[in-house]
Homo-oligomer: A and B are copies of this chain.
Amino acid sequence: MAGRSSSLAAAEGKAPAPRRTRNKPEERHKEFVRKAVELFAEIGFEAGTRELAQRLGVTQPLLYRYFPSKDDLIAAVYQEIYVNRWKPQWREGLLDESRPIRERIVAFYEDYAGTIFTPEWIRIYLFAGLRGVDINRRYAATVEEQILRPITLATRTSFGLGGGEPPTPEEVELFWTLQGGIFYYGVREIVYRFPMPVDRATMIRNAVDTFLTGVGPVLKRLAERSDAPA
């Protein structure tokens, strides 16, 4: 109870007992990124470094010992979510010709939705897109290359249409609408918090059924048109 009059800013009676536990830098780094993912998903990238520090039970300048700037922290968040959570077996499963095409596509979208339908993934993805960084362009390019082109070829094959040539842009775009339709289910559920009376698995099954039933004739028409030039 003595002195302690040095600073009026001490906010009398609300000193939350600084921790001063000394952790290994590597663990701290991970801890910071993990909580940053959580915070940015909630508030967006304009979330303050002070808020993040408070949630970590740490002072704000300490963050700058681990990340030179806030943008570096954000870059680490991107890496964590969009690089580390990508599964190479998605592509492999889609190419596994021992299973029927419908089964492969449904299984993929169920696993994919299970991975990305979280507030961290979807909200930060949209925040990043609106911010104008190239994360989304690059991610979409990966989706097209690793998922949609394989799906397109596998579907073509399963309909007995020529499997040699690479997919045309028009074909790929067709599969983008399926991808977008399913992704937007997640946006409505997680971002808009729209009431979703139909569960994910049912939605995926119905969407894939509708798509696979209808895509045959359209693919055939596209193939015929490219076969017979003017």
Please give the residue numbers on chain A whose beta carbons come within 8 Å of chain B beta carbons, in ascending order: 44, 46, 123, 126-127, 129-130, 136-137, 140-141, 169-170, 173-174, 176-185, 187-188, 191-194, 197-198, 202-203, 206-207, 209-218, 222
Contacts and interface: CB of A to CB of B under 8 A. Distances in A.
Nearest to A209: B218
Contacts of A197: 169, 173
Contacts of A211: 210-211, 214
Contacts of A216: 213
A70 to B, nearest CB: 14
A130 B140 contact: no
Contacts of A206: 170, 173-174, 177, 218, 222
Contacts of A177: 178, 181-182, 184-185, 203, 206-207, 210
Nearest to A135: B192
A135 B68 CA distance: 37
Nearest to A129: B191
